[in-house]
Every structure is written in C-alpha cells, then in structure tokens.
Amino acid sequence: MAGGYILCEYEDVKKEFPEFRTVMRDVKEELLSRAQADWGIPREKFTLRQGYVTSIIPSLFADINGNRMATWDQWFNATGHQMIMSGVATGRTIPEDYKVGLVGLAFLDKTIRMSEMKMQISDKKLPRINIEEAFAYNQPAIIFEEGYILDEERSFELYAYILTQGPQRIKLIGLQANRVKDKVLTNTGAALV
C-alpha cells in the first residue's frame, strides 16, 4: 500500500516489522541504481568500507530554524504547524553529490512534542500521519511500507503540528549514497558540502 507505515519501538523495528529488511533492501537497490546511473560509479564501490554508502548524516538537513544540523537534536520554539526539517541546500534541496534512501523516522526522546506530521519530497506530497499513538512508546519509530529516495538537488520538507516547545530529537532511518567519498571522510560533526 503506497503511503503505508507502522508505528513501533525503535529498538524493536526488526522484530515488530520483519518486512523492514525487504523495505531497506529495496530502497538500497533503487538508491544504488540511481547513483550508478547518475554518477557512473561502479556498483561494487558502493560499500560502507569504501565510503560511498553511509548512514544518513544530519548535516544534509536544516532544522526548524533553517540551520544546518550537526546532530538530530532540535529545539522547538513555537507551537502549531511548522516545517521541522528540510534539505539544507538552496530551495530546501538535498545537496549535490548525495542521495538519501529514507525508510522511516525515529523519535529519540521520551517526550514527543508533536501530534501529526507530513512530508513533501520534490513535487510528491505524502499524506499526514497522526502520531499520537506513539506517545505510549518509549522510543517510537515510524517505518514506511515503501521507502523514499531523496535525490540530490531535489527538495525535502518535513512538517509537524507542534504541541509544546522544547527539545526534540528526530532521526531519519535509512542510508545515503555519496558521490565523492572524501567529503564523508572529514571530521565528525563537520558539514558535508
């Protein structure tokens, strides 16, 4: 089902949603196929060891205030409908030389300060997700039944209806492909440019 998802404990993703392995595999295949086609990098280079594939790094994204993220930590300073995360490049896009395979989101705090969220990936608007059920979880995760590719120089926006002000950590679950591996061999916390 397009747009489907499951809410579960982040630490129990594999146990509660066994299809996660399939979703992750399919997203990885699509991500690497696009990267190979667009960048001409041989398929065998796309390994963690070689630096062409990594976990999703926060510095590809801007926080609620439009600042480049160094960690997944944010401070919500207003309530109501807000854009809480976007691509960090001009026009809220993913920077050139990076592609992201997104399979879900994890809330890493006990307190969840939002009740609803929605995403827009390039010109594709995704339906709203009510996450109030997640209030009962310790560290909830939203895992999509189908993953999404956040392509380089394409926009990404994550909106939420914020209930209270304060700290919030939301981690994107998936992987990213990197055209220039030397860019991800920099110091930890450094911006990817």
Residue with tokens 């304060």: 166
pLDDT at 188 over 90: no
pLDDT per position as a tens digit, 33-57: 999 999 998 888 877 667 789 999 9
Average pLDDT of the segment spanning 110-124: 94
User: Residue 175's closest CA among 68, 117, 100?
Assistant: 100
CA dihedral 38, 39, 45, 51 (to 10 degrees): -110
State the pLDDT confidence band at 6, using cuts at 50, 70 and 90: confident
CB under 8 Å, gap of 24 or more: what pairs does 33-41 form? 34/99, 34/149, 34/151, 34/177, 35/99, 35/177, 35/179, 38/99, 38/152, 39/179, 41/179
The pLDDT value recorded for residue 3 is 66
Contact 17, 8 (CB under 8 A): yes
Contact 109, 164 (CB under 8 A): no
pLDDT at 69 over 50: yes
The pLDDT value recorded for residue 14 is 72
- Predicted TM-score (pTM) of the model is 0.91
pLDDT at 144 over 70: yes
Q: What is the percentage of the chain residues whose pLDDT exceeds 70? A: 96
- A 10 A CB-CB count for 6 gives 15
Residues 6+ apart with CB under 8 A from 135: 112
Average pLDDT of the segment spanning 150-157: 97
Report which of residues 115 and 136 the model is more confident about: 115
The pLDDT value recorded for residue 1 is 39
Give bridge partners of residue 104 from the DSSP assignment: 143, 173
Residues 6+ apart with CB under 8 A from 24: 101, 103, 147, 174, 175
